[in-house]
Structure 1
Amino acid sequence: MSVPFVRVSEDFCRQTLCGVCTFSPFCSSAWWACLCSSSPPLHMAALMAAVYPATGNLLIGRAVNFSASSTCGERGAAHYCIVSHLQESDKCFVCDDSDPRLRHRIESVIYLTKSEEDEHSWWQSVNGEENVQIRLNLEAEFHFTHLIIKFKV
């Protein structure tokens, strides 16, 4: 079984992984294999956890830092239409922030569990409004690998 080597810089290894960096015969000269000199020795699982931290939904716990420049029903009942329903008789609907069944706030896109991801939970901008912005303050620096956006059309 081969041991995977991690592509990190020498400075990263010294500052973050408490390690001594050496060239690996398995990697090109641009790659480093980091070995920890602490006691007990740093195992590969710990090394991988430091280099590849757990992933998760960055929206959870940040609803107060999440805003939209336009939300349907925010200033009273309003109508919106769903493009995919244009062939059906029910193509336009009412949104109203005062009614929990008809509200579509930006916080609705934050799913705490998979079961909350249902057809009644989404954010809806004002019908026909352009240049709508969604803002999220993460309060820290993150390395994004994926951004998943679903559109209700």
Structure 2
Amino acid sequence: SYVRPTGRVYSYEVRGEFLEIARKNLERAGVLDYVELKNKDITQGIDEVNVDAVVLDMATPWLVVPHAYRALRGSGSFISFSPTIDQVVRTVEDLRANNFADIETIECLIRRIRAERGKTRPETLMTGHTGYMVFARKTIVSP
């Protein structure tokens, strides 16, 4: 496990009702002891320092980039999921402006396969697009 037994996950959520849903899901999964839930807007700052990774699934990940740089340890990972390329472009621009390195974007696709002996093929219908993931590393040099 990447987190257990000695690690910690910090989760920021602005909406209290979503925070409670997350709490119940984490409790049901048996991992709540390893997660600290915060009812806070992450675009206003990250409380923690020297973290291994910042992982975002939100509408405005670029607003978190400078906070992520301060919170991450040297060579720590920044990861964001965005449904539109415009969000990706803004995020990548801010990653570059904040001295992140190894910036990479991938498109996430779902292609289901119909597996049958002698006639395996992709399903007739395909979800053509699901979103983009942006990956970057904090540089050791200060911005």
Give the TM-score normalised by structure 2: 0.22
Q: Decide which structure has the larger Cα Rg and report it.
A: 1
By percentage of residues, which structure has more strand? 2
